[in-house]
Amino acid sequence: MIPPICIENLTPCVDGGRFPAKRIVGDTCVVEADIFRDGADVLRAQLRWHRERETAVYSAPMTPLSNDRWRGEFPLAEPATYFFTIEAWTDPFASWLSALRRWVEGNEDVTSEIQAGLRLLRDTLEKAPGDDQAPLRAAVERLEAAGADGDAALAVVSQPEVLALMERLGPRTDPVTRRLELAVQADRPLAACGAWYEMFPRSQGTVPGQAATLRDAEARLPAIRDLGFDVVYLPPVHPIGTTHRKGRDNALLAGPDDPGSPWAIGGPAGGHMAVEPALGTLADFDRFVEVARRLGLEVALDFAIQCSPDHPWVREHPEWFYHRPDGSIQYAENPPKRYQDVYPLNFQCADAKALWAEMLRVLEFWIDHGVKIFRVDNPHTKPFPFWQWLIAQVRRRNPEVIFLGEAFTRPKIMKTLAKLGFTQSYTYFTWRNTKAELTEYLTELSQTEMKDYLRPNFFTNTPDILHEFLQRGGRPAFAMRLILAATLSPSYGIYSGFELCENEAVPDTEEYLHSEKYEIKVRDWNRPGNLNELIARVNHIRKENPALWRLDTVHFLPSDNGQVLFYAKRSADRSNVLLIAVNLDPLHAQESMVTVPLWEIGIRTGETYEVEDLLTGNRYTWGGRNFVRLAPDALPAHILRVERPHAP
């Protein structure tokens, strides 16, 4: 049977409550729902919530908006999964008061109605605790004294103290609690907003062909801090196999000095819970993490679930792998690519329970060594139930851990992985370069239901992806993509070499020529033409402007030129408003008139206002229609902060 009170269309709600919505610690979780019943009786509603595995249940009142829509909120005080539901009931006293007011306004006899109100007050008085009895008794006496005088009766029962007492202590009829609880996952702020820098520790040295150690790589950390990054992301640091080791440029045969791919994990020195001897020891890794922490950086570690033929698991647990008909273990393939140096694991093998448990043990090992962020390699090639189980197990003990899913695959798979628990997700940003593509994609990410569960991380490039736009656009293309990534998404990242505008590719591919995956690089990090100053400036702007900490406030604005993307970002309280114009053409200067809807930025029609370009410090007086000219060989963008209006 349908309940007497209907509670419908709750938000936030992901897939009907099957998965938690995502929020950030320090925010409030705003909940809305349609709550209604037949007739004109007055309803009350409250949120009820609790943390996972806690027995204490808390409540907060909900407020009616319009058209039977209600809103309430509760605080997200710490990283945890919170469960919430809604309780609603009919308020007989408020319903009586509403009817009494209408009778009085109609000059009708209200003698009977006043007697009904007295009955409600007396019944409440009988059950009231001691401290509340005196004011309720006084209300009863005053209402009795009003006799049949409707105006006098209204004056008595409309007192704020009486209303508050009756709302808290009065009768509740037809109470309904929504049976299905919904969930919200509260993560620490870095889960939603941060700048990532990916680097190979072995390439942080100064001697060509000689691998740097983790101790050597420490020397790069202050520079990365000074560039304004929050996270240093390392590819796998585990021992690298020698069997079928790949050589330079992905050659099938490695030379004697070729270091191999860090993703070919496992060798005589150990597997996923060991450190490649060329990098140093586990103690050196611990020191690296601690040095980074003192500099205000966090270390993210690649979690790649695959093995080289030399991994201890191959010998100890051959049943964990895929096998060919002849019984040999099958190496990884992604046609037309072959990875002879890598064995994938079979997560649905007969011994899957032990394999899953071993993956949890690996993560807990590195968590105990100070790693609280994992970039997960190719999660879309492992079963969904595995990820749902693994991430939930980690979060129960360590809710502060962040998982970034690297799944460049079909949209529905990427969405499902995010729903299953991945804190952040790689995206299609790399392949969205035109005005139409960026507008459509950002609108989908920020304005649809995706905003409740998928947090994008806009990496400009990766060791596997050098987009054609960067290959042909030179330094201006790198500057444009940096500004777009850093201002459109609260989380973004670059792979080292981006700041030097490295753009040599294998012809007709997105693969880097002389890929760092297979050889050691030595770079001059300050060579002419670098983007260090721009990167540091952009990251400083991100830290100083709350408008860039959120995804859902991006608003694309009219630009007369198809090569100029124009958009606004604002903080939650609208106190910080940015207007951003980016030239999308790396080869030519572009001019455009851009339109600012003044009401959107808190400016009255006819007023002018001052904007400061945070990239240059220049100031301009703007109105509703404004001219911009963006030259790629200079700064291809404006990041304008709205300062204050001028009187017309």
Q: Which residues are catalytic?
A: 377, 406
| Whether 356 contacts 385, CB under 8 Å | no
* Sequence-ordered list of residues with C-beta below 8 angstroms from that of 577, at least 6 positions apart, any chain: 547, 568, 569, 570, 571, 601, 602, 641, 642
- Kindly report the backbone phi and psi dihedral angles of residue 552, in degrees, each rounded to the nearest multiple of 5, phi listed first: -80, 0
DSSP secondary structure of 212-234: PPHHHHGGGHHHHHHTT-SEEEE
- Kindly report the backbone phi and psi dihedral angles of residue 565, in degrees, each rounded to the nearest multiple of 5, phi listed first: -90, 130
Decide: helix, strand or coil at residue 546.
helix
* Sequence-ordered list of residues with C-beta below 8 angstroms from that of 315, at least 6 positions apart, any chain: none
Decide: helix, strand or coil at residue 282.
helix
* Sequence-ordered list of residues with C-beta below 8 angstroms from that of 363, at least 6 positions apart, any chain: 303, 374, 390, 394, 401
User: For residues 519 and 236, what is the distance between their CA atoms, to the nearest angstrom?
Assistant: 15
The pair of structure tokens assigned to 313 is: 């698991």
| Whether 550 contacts 491, CB under 8 Å | no
Please report how the helices 532-544 and 468-488 are oriented relative to each other, as an axis angle in degrees rounded to 10. Answer: 30
Cis (ω within 30 of 0) for the bond into 12?
yes
**Which of 591, 550, 556, 600 has the alpha carbon at shortest distance from 436?**
556
| Whether 375 contacts 404, CB under 8 Å | yes
| Whether 498 contacts 474, CB under 8 Å | no
Decide: helix, strand or coil at residue 344.
strand
Residue 626, beta-bridge partner list? 594
In 470-624, where do the E strands start and end? 491-495, 555-556, 564-570, 577-583, 590-595, 608-613, 619-622
The pair of structure tokens assigned to 322 is: 């895929």
Residue 579, beta-bridge partner list? 568, 640
Q: Which residues of 227-255 are buried (b: 16+ CB within 10 A; e: fewer)?
A: bbbbbbbbbbbbbbbeebbbbbeeeeebe
Q: How far is CA 328 from CA 186, 318, 322, 332, 483, in A?
A: 45, 10, 9, 13, 49
Residue 425, beta-bridge partner list? 405, 456
Please report how the helices 92-105 and 160-169 are oriented relative to each other, as an axis angle in degrees rounded to 10. Answer: 140
The pair of structure tokens assigned to 482 is: 């940096």
* Sequence-ordered list of residues with C-beta below 8 angstroms from that of 275, at least 6 positions apart, any chain: 214, 237, 238, 239, 269, 281, 282, 284, 285
**Which of 171, 152, 138 has the alpha carbon at shortest distance from 42?**
171
Q: For residue 211, what is the DSSP state?
A: P
* Environment class of 259 (CB within 10 Å of its CB; exposed 0-12, middle 13-18, buried 19+): buried
Question: Cα dihedral sign for 547, 549, 552, 556?
Answer: positive
**Which of 362, 363, 261, 251 has the alpha carbon at shortest distance from 313?**
362
